[in-house]
Amino acid sequence: MRLTTKGRYAVTAMLDLALHGEKGPVNLGDISSRQHISLSYLEQLFAKLRRQELVSSVRGPGGGYLLGRSGAEIYVAQIVDAVNESVDATGCNGSTDCQHGEICLTHHLWCDLSDQIHGFLNGISLASLIQRREIQTISARQDKRYRDERISVTEIEDAHAAF
Amino acid sequence: MRLTTKGRYAVTAMLDLALHGEKGPVNLGDISSRQHISLSYLEQLFAKLRRQELVSSVRGPGGGYLLGRSGAEIYVAQIVDAVNESVDATGCNGSTDCQHGEICLTHHLWCDLSDQIHGFLNGISLASLIQRREIQTISARQDKRYRDERISVTEIEDAHAAF
DNA sequence: CTTAATCCCGACTAAATTACTGGGTTAAAT
DNA sequence: ATTTAACCCAGTAATTTAGTCGGGATTAAG
């Protein structure tokens, strides 16, 4: 189980997809600009996500990506594993080439831990992440709503004011 | 929270230390040969572990490293953080430079998750890892003990037999 | 039918990180 | 003194990350 910035990008992109994909496919250009990840890098990540059927694609204009299944059925561990295409690589692969005794003992302790981390992330779905945050921010969004209605006008003024 | 092979090496080394350090300091050469990590790399890792007071050192012959405190008080998250000297680097550092609305939302979702992972690993101590595995393997080790007594003879025969 | 939007694909590359090598020095035990 | 270790630091090979580029293939819309 590895957890690098690559996995973070993948999880972030999937969260973006879960948040915006309810009413049709989301194109990578939008995710790229919202999440500040280069388009080509996203393409690489989504190729791997698609191979694991975590997303499905729609080609042509108006196309993009959709979650491969419900957000409640997509777990963080699956996303991380998909982009890391984990070749296991725990040093002593599997169990056969371990030397006798001590060496293996510490190694197995690591494996135990790694399994625990994996199990933990296998219990966190996209839906659960979103729901938690939604509850926390729902009042804030309600407070902000009347301002968002006028943002198409004010954001131009804001942009000017920034210079 | 990053979890790379570097962190794995550090946790593995600390587990080795916890297992062998009860009767005096353990030198890095021993850890190096038991865990197959280069000596110099271990030196780098232990310099960082020492700065965080996760280990203490004894110089000179017979010297080596000891756990900085009880294994029950050393948590996996602390070890991983020590060697990654995590400069946070979550893209949007802290919270101030986040743009309004959507961009920040997904980012916060990642932060939530990252906090959860961190919290999880902050609940796993070296002692708890060792105890769990020790219980599982204690009978196996007892069974093997009489064979280990003669291993200095038989391992040469085994090596020959392998060819 | 043509165009434009989009996914798809592979090869290349720059930057960062990991893992290691090799050169020392310092402290302590024999 | 000599030896055994921790300490320290500069360099560097290998790997991974992140991105660029240049092309396809597919399909909706005009």
Q: What is the pLDDT of residues A1-29, one digit of tens each?
A: 899 999 999 999 999 999 999 999 999 99
How does the average pLDDT of chain B come out, rounded? 82
Query: CA separation (Å) from B79 to B74, B120, B148?
Result: 8, 13, 32
Which of A4, A100, A106 comes nearest B4 by C-beta? Answer: A4
pLDDT of A156 higher than 70: no
Decide: A116 and B141 in contact? Cβ < 8 Å. Answer: no
Q: Which residue has the tokens 């005096």?
A: B24
Tell me: the pLDDT tens digits for B51-65? 999 999 999 999 999
Task: Give the minimum alpha-carbon distance from B69 to chain A in angstroms, rounded to a whole number.
Answer: 19
> How is residue B84 written in tokens?
């990654």
Q: Dihedral of CA B39/B41/B46/B51: which sign?
A: positive
Q: Dihedral of CA A152/A154/A156/A162: which sign?
A: negative
> How is residue B144 written in tokens?
């093997």
This prediction's pTM: 0.82
- pLDDT band of residue A146 (cuts 50, 70, 90) is low
- pLDDT confidence of residue B135: 75
Residue B162 CA to its chain's centroid (Å): 32
Q: What percent helix, strand, coil does chain B show, rounded to 5? A: 65, 5, 25
Mark yes or no for CB contact B148/A101 under 8 Å. Answer: yes
Please tell me if residue B119 touches chain A, with a CB cutoff of 8 Å: no
Query: CA separation (Å) from A55 to A18, A27, A43, B137?
Result: 10, 12, 12, 42
Distance of alpha carbon A2 from alpha carbon B89, whole angstroms? 17
> For strand D, is any atom closer than 7 Å to the CB of A145?
no
Mark yes or no for CB contact A103/B1 under 8 Å. Answer: no
Distance of alpha carbon A128 from alpha carbon A132, whole angstroms? 6
- pLDDT band of residue B88 (cuts 50, 70, 90) is low
Question: For testing the chain B interface, which of A14, A106, A116, A117 should be mutated: the one with the most B CBs within 10 Å?
Answer: A106
- pLDDT confidence of residue B145: 55
SS3 B156: helix
- Chain B span 48-87 residues with beta carbon within 7 Å of strand D: 50, 57-65
Please tell me if residue A84 touches chain B, with a CB cutoff of 8 Å: no
- pLDDT confidence of residue A124: 96
Q: Which of A58-72, A107-121, B96-110 reaches the highest mean pLDDT?
A: A58-72
Angle between helices B76-84 and B39-51 (to 10 degrees): 110
In chain B, what residues touch A4 (CB-CB under 8 Å)? Answer: 2-4
Please tell me if residue B162 touches chain A, with a CB cutoff of 8 Å: no
Mark yes or no for CB contact B35/A105 under 8 Å. Answer: no
**Average pLDDT over every residue of B108-135:** 90
pLDDT of B137 higher than 90: no
Residue A113 CB burial class (10 angstroms; 0-12, 13-18, ≥19)? buried
Residues in chain B: 163
> For strand D, is any atom closer than 7 Å to the CB of B91?
no
**Average pLDDT over every residue of A41-60:** 97
Cα atoms in the 13 Å half-sphere on the side-chain side of A82: 24
- pLDDT confidence of residue B91: 52
- pLDDT confidence of residue A101: 61
- pLDDT confidence of residue A107: 84
User: Bigger pLDDT: B20 or A152?
Assistant: B20
Q: Which domains does chain B have, with CATH numbers?
A: 5-85 (1.10.10.10), 87-124 (no CATH)
pLDDT of A106 higher than 90: no
> For strand D, is any atom closer than 7 Å to the CB of A4?
yes
> How is residue B24 written in tokens?
């005096």
Mark yes or no for CB contact B103/A129 under 8 Å. Answer: no
In chain A, what residues touch B109 (CB-CB under 8 Å)? Answer: 12, 15, 129-130, 133
pLDDT of A161 higher than 90: no
Lowest mean pLDDT among A136-140, B22-26, B78-82: A136-140
Per DSSP, A65 falls in state E
User: Bigger pLDDT: B104 or B150?
Assistant: B104
